[in-house]
Amino acid sequence: MDIAAVNSLSYEQFVEVFGNAVEKCPLVAAAVWSSRPFTSIADIDDAFGHFIDSLPDSGKEGVLRCHPDLAGRDLQSGTLTADSLAEQSQAGLTQLGVAEAERIAVLNSQYKLRFGFPFVICARMNDKTSILQQLSQRLANDHAHELTHAIGEVKRICSLRLQALVCPTHLGPAQPNHVPPRL
């Protein structure tokens, strides 16, 4: 889909296409629709990022709570979104050994208990080893730092999902072939 096609989408169509750019948060896409017309994928990405950044901390935590635990119950029960399943599979989280699965389950529980939202990391930019390492390390963060870090990961995930939805040939001459991660 090119930028002209994106700009021509009705509200309902836009929410249907971009509703999972932020995991299970079609409200973000609904809010971003009013930012049209977009000039590039970077413009769309900026609109999503600005909306997320404008949320109060409670709203940011709500966005984070929409994310599934990595290699968690949703994966086991087959209820992950197609995007999350592909991302977790690419990172090797669908092929964990018993010990790895137990370790990630314990760390996920500790993280959720400490911060009140699931651990979020851009799985497409990591593998299972780095994910487990970062999950362990980020448990030591204070709440404010972790909220900022986790929202940065949400925006990375969103950027990659947007890039997959909008044809890269319409990025414009000054844009790279990928959307750089933002914190």
For the stretch 85-120, pLDDT in tens is: 999 999 999 999 999 999 999 999 999 999 999 999
Amino acid 126: pLDDT: 96
Amino acid 168: pLDDT: 57
d(CA 33, CA 115): 31
Positions of the chain with pLDDT lower than 50, given as ranges: 169-183
Q: What is the mean pLDDT of the chain?
A: 92
Output the pTM of the full model.
0.89
> Which position has the token pair 């999950």?
135
Active site residue 67: yes
Amino acid 182: pLDDT: 43
CATH code 3.40.50.150 for 3-170? no
Given 50, 67, 149, 170, the catalytic residue: 67
Q: How far is CA 135 from CA 5, 14, 163, 181, in A?
A: 39, 34, 26, 19
